[in-house]
Chain A
């Protein structure tokens, strides 16, 4: 069974450019999470979805960040315009249950290492 798939694995871009990170959750999972990991701030939850619906985006840093989940098998995290301080590893995770009523284990993807020059 394939785990959570993220693409690209590495992204290098210049300040001001649009960046789109992609995630395919484990089939059958109902919740999807986007995290950001930096040395300074550790692991932060940005947003999560239940059944493709965004539940809580309070962790999204600012309006430059947006996330969508058009269907159960795909989600994107977009940064526009990107800035050097957005450089981080972005993880996607999925979980079998609905995040609002369950605290099932989260299964993480390999992460996307983003570098904004």
Chain B
């Protein structure tokens, strides 16, 4: 079973629209970590956020916000007032230190296109 599911393969929005990227994870561990990475067209992978399983507070960083809900095993990412520069592939990842030490399992990614 896939541990990290990003059901949205591609999303296209017009600049200034808000957009939410979904991430659903599966784990039996009580201690785990969730990540979001951005991969712009240039190809590099850029870290966005790391969240541990004991911290369910939502996070806001500028136009970016993350909604972590353990009840639904989701860690969704919202971009407010999207910009063309937000166009990228976004990956959600799960790390389970107790049962899968050191490994991060990545979702298949969501390709976001922001049109001017």
Contacts and interface: CB of A to CB of B under 8 A. Distances in A.
Interface of A: 31, 42-43, 45, 48, 50, 55-56, 89, 91, 93, 99-111, 113
A48 B47 contact: no
B104 interface: yes
Contacts, number: 55
Given A42-B109, A101-B97, A106 B44 contact: no
A102 B108 contact: no
B103 A48 contact: yes
Contact of B101 (A89, A101, A110): A101
Given A42-B109, A101-B97, A105-B50, A56 B45 contact: no
Interface residues of B, number: 20
Contacts of A110: 43-44
B66 interface: no
Nearest to B32: A103
A102 B106 contact: no
Nearest to B42: A110
B64 interface: no
Contact of B95 (A55, A103, A108): A103
Contacts of B45: 91, 93, 108, 111
Given A42-B107, A103-B104, A108-B47, 19 more contacts: A42-B106, A43-B91, A43-B106, A43-B109, A45-B103, A55-B101, A55-B102, A56-B103, A91-B45, A99-B102, A100-B101, A102-B97, A103-B50, A103-B102, A106-B47, A107-B47, A108-B37, A108-B44, A109-B44
